[in-house]
C-alpha cells in the first residue's frame, strides 16, 4: 500500500511535506528557510542530590535546594518507614503527593526549590534527579 503524501505550500509556493514519515522541504528560488520559534526538546544537563528531611519541633515542610531545571524526578528512599509528601509551599498530608518508600514523583518544573517535602517520620530521605 502506498504511503500517503501531504504537501503544505508556503506563500511563495515552495512545498513542505511529509512522505513516509520523513519531512520533505522543496526550496523555491531562495535557498534559505526561516525556522522561527522552533525549539528542539531535550535536556543539556542532568544533576542529582539526596536530602534528609526532619519533622523535629514541627518545623513544617522543607524546601528543596535551588537547582534550575525543566524536569525533576523525586523518589522516597526505599529504606523510609513513613510517607513523604511532596508539593508547593504549605504542603500537608491533605494537599501533597504521598510517596511511600520507593515511590517516584515526576514533574515538569523550572526549579527544584519550588517544591517542598513533609515527612510523617523524622529523618526520612529523598533522592532527586533533575534535568535541564
**Could you tell me if residue 90 is inside a domain?**
yes
CA angle 111, 112, 118 (to 5 degrees): 145
**Could you tell me if residue 40 is inside a domain?**
no
**Could you tell me if residue 57 is inside a domain?**
yes
Domain ranges, residue 67: 46-131
pTM reported for the whole predicted model: 0.67
**Could you tell me if residue 41 is inside a domain?**
no
Residues 66 and 120 in one domain: yes
Type and span of the H or E element at 105 = strand 104-107
Residues 85 and 114 in one domain: yes
Residues 19 and 67 in one domain: no
**Could you tell me if residue 13 is inside a domain?**
yes
Nearest C-alpha neighbor of 117 from the set 69, 60, 79, 68: 60
For 41-95, the pLDDT digits (tens) are 677 889 999 999 987 666 789 999 999 999 999 999 999 999 999 999 999 999 9
Residues 50 and 21 in one domain: no
Residue 25, pLDDT above cutoff 90? no
Amino acid at each position: 500500500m502506498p504511503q500517503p503524501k501531504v504537501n503544505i505550500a508556503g506563500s511563495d509556493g515552495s512545498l513542505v511535506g511529509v512522505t513516509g514519515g520523513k519531512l520533505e522541504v522543496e526550496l523555491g528560488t531562495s535557498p534559505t528557510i526561516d525556522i522561527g520559534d522552533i525549539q528542539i526538546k531535550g535536556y543539556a544537563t542532568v544533576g542529582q542530590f539526596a536530602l534528609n528531611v526532619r519533622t523535629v519541633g514541627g518545623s513544617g515542610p522543607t524546601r528543596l535546594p535551588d537547582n534550575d531545571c525543566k524536569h525533576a524526578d523525586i523518589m522516597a528512599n526505599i529504606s523510609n518507614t513513613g510517607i513523604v509528601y511532596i508539593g508547593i509551599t504549605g504542603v500537608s498530608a491533605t494537599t501533597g503527593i504521598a510517596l511511600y518508600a520507593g515511590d517516584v514523583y515526576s514533574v515538569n518544573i523550572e526549579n527544584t526549590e519550588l517544591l517542598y517535602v513533609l515527612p510523617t517520620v523524622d529523618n526520612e530521605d529523598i533522592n532527586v534527579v533533575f534535568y535541564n
